[in-house]
Amino acid sequence: MTGGAGFIGSHLVDRLMKEGYEVVVLDNFFSGNIENIKHHLESGMFYLVKGDVRSSDNVKEAIRNVDAVFHLAAIVSVPLSIENPLLVNDVNVRGTLNLLEASLKADVKRFIYASSCAVY
């Protein structure tokens, strides 16, 4: 799961862990918070990759041997998209493309993309 330390991501992590799934989170903590997921760190069923969706190496590490990807990582701040559109595009577009390409190569069975209210 990308963005697993964010508000929605951390709740999804909680739910998946409660249902007995192993969960791998890739997060750079740009807007997510380690406090949201730290209670899972010692569970033996939770793995944290501190990294960025723009990094092929980070993505490959995070999706190795996974069946599904939940993609929640994004910069959703409208003011930031106006102040720094190249950064927002890089994270949201190139990061997503990087994750999609790696998921295809890794034969990931399901790819779930979550949008945000910022698209409206």
Q: What is the CATH number of the domain that holds 97?
A: 3.40.50.720
Locate all alpha helices (DSSP H) within 1-120, ordered by sequence. 7-18, 56-63, 78-83, 85-89, 95-105
CB half-sphere exposure, 27, CA atoms < 13 A: 27
Q: Give the pLDDT score at 80.
A: 95
**What one-letter code names the amino acid at 91?**
V
Rounded Cα gap, residues 35 and 49, in angstroms: 15
Number of domains in the chain: 1
**What one-letter code names the amino acid at 41?**
L
32-88 residue pLDDT tens = 999 999 999 999 999 999 999 999 999 999 999 999 999 999 999 999 999 999 999
Does 2 reside within a domain? Answer: no
Task: Write down the mean pLDDT value for the chain.
Answer: 96
Confidence of residue 116 (pLDDT cuts 50, 70, 90): confident
Does 109 reside within a domain? Answer: yes
Does 80 reside within a domain? Answer: yes
Confidence of residue 94 (pLDDT cuts 50, 70, 90): very high
Q: Give the pLDDT score at 115.
A: 84
Does 42 reside within a domain? Answer: yes
Q: How large a percentage of the chain has pLDDT more than 90? A: 95
Does 99 reside within a domain? Answer: yes
User: Is the pLDDT score of 105 beyond 80?
Assistant: yes
Domain containing 34: what range? 7-119
Confidence of residue 119 (pLDDT cuts 50, 70, 90): low
User: Is the pLDDT score of 120 beyond 70?
Assistant: no
Does 25 reside within a domain? Answer: yes
Does 101 reside within a domain? Answer: yes
